[in-house]
Structure 1
Amino acid sequence: MLRHVSAPTRDFTRIRNSQIWDDDLSDSAFRLAVRGQALSEAKAARTTVTELADGLTGGRVTAARARKNLAHAGLLHHTRWRGRSGQIRSESLLCDEPMSEKDAERLFAAHFAQLERLERLDQSDDEPDAGEREAGEAEAPSPGTVLPEGERLGEDETSPLPVPPPTEERVKAERVLLALRRSDPRLVLGGSEVRRLAPLAAEWLARGVSSESLRHVLTAGLPGELKSAYALLNHRLVHKIPDAPERSAVVALVNCDGCERPFRPVSGEAACGECRQAAAAAASARGGPGPVRMGWRERVASVTAGTTAAG
């Protein structure tokens, strides 16, 4: 809860005469206003209006009427704000004198801007600082293999290498992870968490899993109480990853007995297709029966017979 009042310097609270003699304020509304003005700045930041109204005679109904009475008098304002993480927060402003809606909005905007700056600082703590460049022309970018001038490697240090560009699977994986919050607001990941999970998700894509299938695996059947989105996603990426597809055996090349050109035999042939066709044509020209041409059924039967005999 925010306040716009004069902070007390001793163990007492100063109340404006306009509030004391305001007959439009109910006793509960006046008591709620006095309670809010009696809080210190630190305690007011940790207290909500609902907590402040606890103990008023009449229960929730009286507390709700007191809040409406203060809001109608311009002494209490409410608003909602969505932060950078997507979380919606509600905030209240208690004043010691009537304030217009526009003035209250300006105070809320300044307060939320300060909160956003603090959130950005918290998120950038684990990221390296880019630093500042002096005025003038920019130098040519270093490939990453050259040390700065005046520095050299120690005995136990290795030479710096350029950072490889992200693969296509890595880029798609990061997009899938960042878009999970659209399926469930609880699946909000920070930048460092996405960078740690991206290699695992990229391995799924490299094994033939589509982006939509990966999103379904990560969002389906979520528990009712989710304590850590990162831990749940990491567990699913590690333990549910499918097996890598098996590659079919490649038949080795052999040289043709006739033209000596390499070819892949289908069922143990010693000559390539062109040489076999030429031999069949020559045999037909001489009037001989020539080699028998096999259809696909005969070829399958011969290959199966050869496999059974070898086993």
Structure 2
Amino acid sequence: MDKRNFSAPPCAQPRIPHPDAHPRTHPRGITHINVRHTTRFTVIGNHLAQHRQLSGLAIGLGVHIQSLPTGARVDIKTLAARFPEGETRIASALRELEAHGYLARTRERLPSGRVVTHTVSYNQPGATPAEPPQPQPAASPEPTPATTANPAPDPVQPDVEASPPATPSATPPAKFPPTPPGAATPDHRTAADLLARLRHDDPRLLLPQRDVDRLAPAVTAWLDRGAAPEAVRRTLTAGLPEGPLLHPAGLLAHRLAELVPPPLPAVATATTPAAVRPVRPFPMENCDGCDRAFRSPKPDLRCRDCRSAGSDPLETAA
């Protein structure tokens, strides 16, 4: 026992925690050390940050887009220049966000003829934006009754949060979206009826009235290009993703903008210039003088050579 054995393993040393470690650190899983943000922060819902069907790139792009100010560019080339991923992966992630209702992209034609893409970001798909609170008129001061010199103290009341009395006029009336200018035209009614009946093909395509009015001009553009209403319906309802559709209007807007058919070619009519109308050749005739075939707008008995020679075989034979 008096000899020291240097080959024996040393005793296990106690684990010394880091001085900056949290006192409630769990041995497994993640530990959050949160500091309250006061400037430059964005509120992101867990329905996006912990989405079960979106890819990690789509979740990251959704968080980045929601943190941008209004008017910032979020096209594919701008995002590809900002992140290391290429344009193909960026475009695929944007389509994921659009299919789940976090983005809505529509194409608009400017008065100059240029076509631009308008992007709308939804931080909570399917929810209706809250109306801003209306300012209440200031109440006129009422005269206070005269008080006595030594008023009696009020009895002690329990701490109960007081709420203002509810009045019938405090509830704002329901607001409906304004009717678009072209709602009275037959084409707009046909497009609106087509969009409203999509729920018969798939119950997830139940659209509110404001989305029907917003998408009806895009459907009208399809009808103006010769697409039948049944063809438009099949295009909008074919190959829908599985699971719940958080924002069906965004998916329909994407399909209407990306799959719009080309306009039909012009058909030759009586007013079309002769240069573009097909010209049919004159019928073939046989000359009675030389028996040579020639083309003529009317049934002649002789060809041009026989007429110029002035010889009529019928008259000579007579």
Q: TM-score, normalised by structure 2?
A: 0.32
Report the structure, 1 or 2, having the larger helix content: 1
Q: TM-score, normalised by structure 1?
A: 0.32
Structure with higher RCO (Cα < 8 A, 6+ apart): 2
